[in-house]
Amino acid sequence: MFYQKIQIIIDYINKKESFDKTNDLDINYLIKLCKNHSMLPLLYVSLKHYNIELTEEQESFLSKQYKNAVYIEAVQESEKNLILDTLSENMVKCMPLKGSVLKYLYPSPELRTMSDLDILFESSKSKLVKEVLKDLGYKCEKSGGTDDEYNKPPFMNVEMHRIMVDGNFEAIASYYSNIWDVVKPIKAGSLVYEMSLEDFYVHMVAHVARHYAVGGIGIRFVFDEWIYLKHYENVLNFEYINGEFEKLNLLKFAENFKNMTVKWFKGLETTELEEDMSKYIFESGTHGSLIHQQSIKILLGKDGTNNFKSNKLLYMLRLIFPSFKYMKARNHILKKIPILLPYFYIERICVAIFKKKKLAIQSIKGLDHYNEDKAKEIHELHEKSGF
């Protein structure tokens, strides 16, 4: 079973010891795997907890990664509070999302690493929010559409979200279109908001589903699921939760994902579907695999066709010139002034050349390595998983 490859980390989270110490652990494999899934700090504390002997090189690398994680988490936490406080002072409703909330449920917050901070704000206050972030020392790297991306050296990345979900996921985007009507202040009079425990869980799984569908999810998402379920197991109202999943057409996926997660952490035998899901997750990396993402897009093509060879050409064109719907979801001004579309195409090409050249080259070169059978395999797994 796939999850047994990381049994030592599962055991650490579960506060028990069931992994086989009689067999030598392949530490180098675990390091490579956890690096791809942004879980090195969690691997390190697990190995130290069970007194696993490390080489000098392994100890040096992992301890450095852990210390960096402690430092980064401390800075991210300080910056998050500064941003939320400053937005509140400027009368802007805001709400921290995803990992910045989940990390508190881990044994220690630095074990749940984050590449960036995600904060939701009132879309009508976009101009003011830009001024606030600029005054706090941030540079806006991308503006428009679902979110604005900000950077502050040496490593702070902040995504300020106008809406919860972009328009390419219509059902989910519609579901969250009135988010400020259902969230509540963290305390009376505060402009910092939070979701109920049930609504946070629904959003967490919906976020997982979106990544799973378009490129895959990392192991860390499974740990998030278990830690949240375990922490609130006697509190969560699953009658309400499942009703919300039905509205999102995600109930089948949510059940499959939950069942797989529970079996990982309870040491139970997984079904054939759960093994296939586990394999897909292990192969995906932190935020999914480019191969997974492009293979399924090529297979489906523009109109859901399955002519793989011709769709490679279509996909290359779509990389450069996405549909108006796609561009509109990321550049809201196009809803009012669609004639600006050529400008945003030019901007997209410039970003690919000057800012994301490596990714653009990988996207095009990698097409030759994809095959139709793999793409169909992923598509079939998606259908079985609940999409």
pLDDT in tens, 104-119: 999 999 999 999 999 9
Segment 220-224 long-range contacts (CB within 8 Å, at least 24 positions apart): 220/37, 220/38, 220/39, 220/112, 220/113, 220/286, 221/281, 222/260, 222/261, 222/264, 222/281, 223/13, 223/39, 223/42, 224/99, 224/102, 224/112
| pLDDT value of residue 363 | 60
Tell me if 379 is assigned to some domain: yes
Tell me if 11 is assigned to some domain: no
Select from 144, 164, 194 the last residue of a domain: 194
Quickly state the pLDDT bin for 60 (edges 50, 70, 90).
very high
- Name which residue leads in pLDDT, 223 or 324: 223
Tell me if 186 is assigned to some domain: yes
| pLDDT value of residue 146 | 83
Quickly state the pLDDT bin for 370 (edges 50, 70, 90).
low
| pLDDT value of residue 166 | 72
| pLDDT value of residue 366 | 55
Q: How many residues are listed for the chain in this entry?
A: 387
Please give the structure tokens belonging to residue 126.
């976009």
Helices and strands (DSSP H and E) totals, the chain: 19, 7
Please give the structure tokens belonging to residue 204.
């967490």
pLDDT at residue 328 greater than cutoff 80: no
Q: What total of structural domains would you count in the chain? A: 2
Tell me if 300 is assigned to some domain: yes
Tell me if 35 is assigned to some domain: no
**How far apart, in whole angstroms, are the C-alpha atoms of residue 298 and residue 156?**
34
| pLDDT value of residue 305 | 46
Q: Whole-prediction pTM value?
A: 0.85
Residue bearing tokens 């000098």: 56
Residue bearing tokens 């984050």: 114
On average, the pLDDT of the chain sits at 88
List all residues 6 or more positions away from 382 whose beta carbon is below 8 Å from its beta carbon: 212, 213, 296
Name the DSSP letter for residue 183: -
Select from 194, 228, 252 the last residue of a domain: 194
Q: Please tell me the chain's helix, strand, coil percentages from 3-state DSSP, rounded to the nearest 5.
A: 65, 5, 30
Tell me if 256 is assigned to some domain: no
pLDDT at residue 198 greater than cutoff 70: yes
Select from 132, 167, 194 the last residue of a domain: 194
Tell me if 375 is assigned to some domain: yes
What is the full DSSP assignment across 329-347? HH-THHHH-GGGHHHHHHH
Question: Which of 9, 13, 386 is CA-nearest to residue 205?
Answer: 386
Main-chain dihedrals φ then ψ at residue 49, nearest 5 degrees: -60, -40
**How far apart, in whole angstroms, are the C-alpha atoms of residue 227 and residue 379?**
29
Please give the structure tokens belonging to residue 379.
């598509």
Residue bearing tokens 């395999």: 377
Tell me if 243 is assigned to some domain: no
Structural domain boundaries, residue 376 = 291-385
Average pLDDT over residues 372-383: 81
State which H helix or E strand residue 29 sits in: helix 27-36
Please state whether beta strands 139-142 and 147-152 pair in parallel, antiparallel, or not at all (unpaired): antiparallel
